[in-house]
A and B are shown apart, each in its own frame.
Chain A
Amino acid sequence: MRVAAPVLASVLTLVVGSIFFASLGHDPLPTLYAFFVEPLNSLNGLSEWLLKASPLILIACGLAIGFRANVWNIGAEGQFTMGAIAASGVGLFWPNPDSVLLLPLMFVAGMGAGMAWAAIPAFLRARMNTNEILVTLMMTYIATLFLSYLVHGPWRDPAGFNYPQTALLPTAALFESFDPAYRLNPSIFITVVAVFVMWLFTDRSFLGYKMSVSGAAPLAARYAGFRESAAVWIGLMAGGAAAGIAGMAEAAGPLGQLSPQISPGYGFAAIIVAFIGRLNAFGIVLGGLLMSLLFLGGEGVQMTLGLPSALTRIFQGILLFFLLAADFFIFYRIRLIRPARDTHALETA
């Protein structure tokens, strides 16, 4: 049943999507083809598919570690942004722009910034029992506005015709594509490693075991003496680190500079990916590939059929909606009861 729900949700999303296309005056089948198949018809399409799946999977892996312990970090978007800012800052201002250390330093800076951004809600939750859902979400807006401030103000490229963006990162600060014709770059290996680490952590490690106990039965965790604050810290740090690295890889990869639109919503979409993947490393890979396809397909039909760009978000929403609904109906059954007009039923009781 746990596996059936995402499949069922995906199928229902397609069905509703078809109705949706039809209502917009497009023949559903060709439109679905244009949305879900055409983007993968070319090498470039495949490259873009993996390129976009990579940050989604990476972030989802980090988030899922927390989600398994009921630590709800929904501010990966902010941690992603801070990772991108810190990494770009190192790339732009490191004294020696040709250093081979530049990329590793940016990696560390991105990861560190993501973790630091997640450390604030972790501290507040562990020490003051604030709600991490609210805090992580609000921190996201701070991060986005901070980025906006930087690219409009101090970090704006003087030679950039007043566009809100930084100068391009030096070559040594960039992941070099596998092939100049396509954008896919070696940062995808970071994601591959992250998937393996996530699997090892959740499925094999004692720390991951403790986290799952904290999530499944908090009283049992206390009974065994597992620190609740440890679960909070590890959960938020894992998400922060993964999102920060993803932000770094995005800045040092396809973007090559900072602008206000560095993320098409990876941080939020990754939450859905984590749930579609059932918080499982390999499930997340599949979920990330699906979500990436939604991004690509949305862009594709926008260009070829002139459908609105909001379509991607709508599909994400429908998918999450059906997934949660499917999960709900696996565990609950709805029964209709009409309110009484008289107490006749009780009198006969």
Chain B
Amino acid sequence: MHPRLELRNICKRYPGVVANDDVSLSIQPGEIHAVLGENGAGKSTLMKIIYGAAQADSGEIFCDGNPIAAHNPATSRALGIEMVYQHFALFESVSVVENIALSASSAFDLPSLAAKIRELSLRYGMPIDPHRQVHDLSVGERQRVEIVRCLLQAPKLLILDEPTSVLTPQAVVKLFETLRQLAAEGCSIVYISHKLDEVQELCDTATVLRNGKVTGTARPKETTSLELARMMVGSKLPEMHVSPPTPSEKPVLEVNNLSVKARDHFGVDLKDVSFNVHGGEIVGLAGVSGNGQAELIALLSGERTHHNNDAIRICGTAAARLRADERRKLGLAFVPEERLGRGAVPSHTLWENAVLTAHRFGTVRNGLVDRRKASAFAAGIIDRFKVKANGPASTAQSLSGGNLQKFIVGREIALEPKLLLVSQPTWGVDVGASAFIRQTIVDLSRAGAAVLVVSEELDELFEICDRLLVICQGRVSPPLIRKTTDREEVGLLMTGRTMSTDQMAIGSGDVALQD
């Protein structure tokens, strides 16, 4: 039997980089095949070549034993190759069925298409109402729309580019069920990721890429994550150094009885949130996304203000009514979860994006932007944080997600904050860069800064945090000491199941500030 897809000696060069260097792989029908690699390892380029969105310089592609010559996405789809991109391409203002109809390559009829969508989505355990407006859908539901769009074409090969980077843990479980069902029906799946645990859980085989080359193939379920990680990042695996915290006497961030109504019916009300973060410690905020994290972080960063000025105090100053830049004067720095459009202006250059928050650091003089200083500032970040970019003049949108994240984290840390808020520090960031970002955050805190990390990745929180808060339906739990708590306890709090009272006492209570 011919493999569903076979790549032989694929090479692709871009000016200055070899994106794919002699890459070969083969995927059988019904196989779930992982393509593992760090950011910039060449995964996305390889997927574009398979899908026909880019052409290889040399090498051959076979589908079911037939060579594919020059092809494009349309011919790929005709062959049964479909791709779900990491960034969805949906029109928010129209319904699910209209979105899918818009991308149909052939004629369509809305009512029967809607019926088809309903049936398919139910069959694969991810129900969607075809008549809902896309702007009403959660990120997970939007992804379902993208997947159903592919399934309508009855694909033989489905490519998913980091599908879980935007999903809640529960949605990931659902997605995996769907993918397994698809594979059992004979559809081959290419699963691009850098998350080892997911690959080990889901995938039958894996091809590991590093710097555009295949550095190994493995059966993930029979391989340890250490071995896989070695293949991904080379022999040197970064090690974390987390020294014990030395909390400052006075808290740097105080949140007192912060309650706020959601702005619209998609939001979550915050109810009576109180906690402190001291200098020298890292506090983590765990929780399933959509439980009030976005509201809380917007209130803490100053993107949203609160009428009760005392509800938030930064370095002892009442700050709830202050705007973001006024809070920054008090020593706040903030890394938001959305990099493009919030943490950085997509169409602006990196040096311009450095000015966004670093305008008090010599990049603005007499009301004029000092381009040379700003460029030097940006170049410093690029250099120190090993951002892969064509210098300070490249635009933010030209960087990969992980590299832009490194730049934004670098920029905020270069502000020498007394208080750092970080939301999802390592979303879409590869293993090596994640470890680097986490280490930088730890170092910053050990140098005396207070750090609040909001993350959905429990592993990450357990790795770097000294204390943990759990947010669920707008309520924040009492702090848990990392060393005395465990995933089970945090997991229970995340799902809103209250523990029995004596367990609560052990879990938190008066031990909150000792470690």
Contact = CB atoms under 8 A, between A and B. Distances in A.
A166 B285 CA distance: 71
B302 A225 contact: yes
B323 interface: yes
A53 B328 CA distance: 45
Contacts of A227: 323
Interface in B309-365: 323-328, 334, 336, 338, 341-348, 352, 355-357, 359, 364
Contacts of A339: 107-109
A340 interface: yes
Interface stretch (A39-47, A155-163, A216-224, A263-271): A216-224
Contacts of A223: 301, 303, 324, 334, 336, 342-343, 356
A342 interface: yes
B113 interface: yes
B359 A220 contact: no
Interface in A189-242: 200, 204-207, 209, 212-213, 216-217, 219-220, 222-227
A310 interface: no
Contact of B369 (A209, A341, A349): A209
B369 A204 contact: yes
B116 A346 contact: yes
Contacts of A213: 345, 348, 356
B367 interface: yes
Contacts of B106: 345-346
Interface size class of B (residues with CB under 8 A): 35 or more
Contact of A217 (B113, B346, B357): B346
Contact of B303 (A216, A222, A344): A222
A343 interface: yes
Contacts of A216: 345-348
Main secondary structure of the interface of A (DSSP, over half): helix
A226 B326 CA distance: 10
B173 interface: no
A340 B104 CA distance: 11
Contacts of B112: 343, 346
B369 A219 contact: no
Interface string A40-74: 00000000000000000000000000000000000
B152 interface: yes
B326 to A, nearest CB: 7
Contacts of B347: 216
Contacts of A349: 152-154
A337 B107 contact: yes
Given A342-B109, A346-B108, A204 B343 contact: no
A147 B143 CA distance: 58
B368 interface: yes
Contacts of A225: 302, 323-328
Nearest to A203: B369
A219 B338 contact: yes
Q: Counting chain B CB atoms within 10 Å of each CB, which of A205, A219, A226, A346 scores highest?
A: A346
B367 A206 contact: yes
Nearest to A213: B345
Interface string A119-135: 00000000000000000
A1 to B, nearest CB: 13
A234 to B, nearest CB: 13
Contact of A206 (B341, B342, B368): B368
Nearest to B303: A222
Contacts of A206: 355, 359, 364, 367-369
A341 B342 CA distance: 45
A238 to B, nearest CB: 15
Given A223-B336, A224-B325, A346 B344 contact: no
A338 interface: yes
B108 A340 contact: yes
Given A200-B368, A346-B116, A349-B154, 9 more contacts: A204-B369, A206-B359, A213-B356, A219-B338, A223-B324, A223-B336, A225-B324, A345-B108, A349-B152
Interface of A: 200, 204-207, 209, 212-213, 216-217, 219-220, 222-227, 337-346, 349
Shortest beta-carbon contacts, A-B, top 5:
A225-B325, A225-B324, A340-B107, A345-B106, A340-B109
30 contacts: A204-B369, A205-B367, A206-B359, A209-B352, A209-B355, A213-B345, A217-B344, A217-B346, A220-B343, A222-B303, A223-B303, A223-B324, A223-B336, A224-B357, A225-B323, A225-B324, A225-B325, A225-B327, A226-B325, A227-B323, A339-B107, A339-B109, A340-B108, A342-B109, A343-B112, A345-B104, A345-B107, A346-B106, A346-B113, A349-B154
